[in-house]
Amino acid sequence: MSATVIDGKAVAAEVRGRVRAEVEGLSPRLGRPPGLATVLVGDDPASAIYVRRKREACEEAGIRSIHHEPAAEIPEQELLELVAELNEADEVDGILVQLPLPEGIGSEKVVAAISPNKDVDGLTPTSAGLLARGEPGLVPCTPRGVMELLRSADVDPAGKEAVIVGRSNLVGRPLFSLLLGAHATVTVCHSRTRDLAEVCRRAEILVAAAGRPRLIGAEMIRPGATVIDVGTNRTDEGLVGDVDFEPAREVAGAITPVPGGVGPMTIAMLLANTVQAARGVLELRPA
Ligand code: NAP
């Protein structure tokens, strides 16, 4: 039987609708719309497209977009000062520094300078530490999107065997903490994993985030498993995931396509994180 295809576009639209409704409720209480500051350094065309999409999504959700576009030659110190200003700015609830940064600027240093309360990408060491400890904080958008997709497909991770392929700070590691927090038994694979196929076949929830086109074949999937494909690989045949979709859908119980699966969730969860950060402002305000 062919797997249910999880429609990331539809789930993302639902999340964006929820965010819009929440923004309507929040704005009068804040006395302003929630605000997301985007910082695009230099003129990398791919980064420019990503940032434009994020800004458009903000406007559509009623979130104010505050944009900074310093030149690629900006000294690291000046960029750190810009981040410090945004940390202090009352109208800014979330700060997103688009990565990668040009050579010569230390991405880790710049990201670490973002106030954890405004860290809507969830990439600061503080946010990562809170997540690893199972404490509340802002969570990276793509892993949060994966959890939302599981929820939408009525897949409760509790007690299940979950396998993640990939251990990056952006996807694999935060997802490990989220799935563990949701009471799954989690295994994380990487390039040194000895028998990837065997480990993957254990998974009731399999998340592929390796950035290797069609790494996961149908023979690596446990019948009936939920398969979430985070991979986005540009090939001669266009955009493909880490999962060999057509054969895999004959074995899996539910599966995300590429494109149209995890991709649309990332921006939706950025908006959700911005609203979460704005709610935090109200919680900190004296009654
Ligand atoms: P990354 O930093 O390159 O990490 C890739 C991970 O996969 C590493 O941990 C690596 O292991 C592991 N890996 C690579 N080849 C492997 C193999 N043959 N077998 C087992 N593990 C292997 O990538 P990332 O930033 O996490 O992104 C992963 C993919 O997700 C990329 O395709 C990226 O474009 C996509 N992505 C999509 C979205 C979205 O919105 N849809 C968002 C973020 C990322 P080692 O640690 O041992 O090197």
Contact 267, 261 (CB under 8 A): no
Is 98 designated active site? yes
Residue 285: pLDDT above 90? no
Q: Which residues line ligand 1 (CB under 6 A)?
A: 142, 165-168, 170-172, 189-193, 196, 209-212, 215, 230-233, 262-263, 266
Contacts of 44 (CB under 8 A, 6+ apart): 100, 102
Nearest CA to ligand 1 atom 30: 231
Q: Given the CA of residue 165, which atom of ligand 1 is nearest to it? A: 21
88 CA from centroid of ligand 1 (Å): 34
- The model's pLDDT over 54-91, given as tens digits with 9 standing for 90+, comes to 999 999 999 999 999 999 999 999 999 999 999 999 99
> Is the sign of the CA dihedral 15, 226, 260, 264 positive or negative?
positive
Burial of 150 (0-12, 13-18, 19+ CB in 10 A): buried
What local confidence, expressed as pLDDT, does residue 4 receive?
98
CA–CA distance, 221 with 256 (Å, rounded to integer): 14
> Is the sign of the CA dihedral 247, 252, 226, 184 positive or negative?
negative
CA–CA distance, 88 with 85 (Å, rounded to integer): 5
Nearest CA to ligand 1 atom 34: 232
- The model's pLDDT over 169-211, given as tens digits with 9 standing for 90+, comes to 999 999 999 999 999 999 999 999 999 999 999 999 999 999 9
Contact 36, 63 (CB under 8 A): yes
Q: How confident is the model at residue 286 (pLDDT cuts 50, 70, 90)?
A: low
Catalytic pick from 121, 229, 242, 244? Answer: 121
Nearest CA to ligand 1 atom 1: 168
Q: How confident is the model at residue 1 (pLDDT cuts 50, 70, 90)?
A: confident
Is 121 designated active site? yes
Rounded-to-10 torsion of CA 271, 276, 279, 284: -140
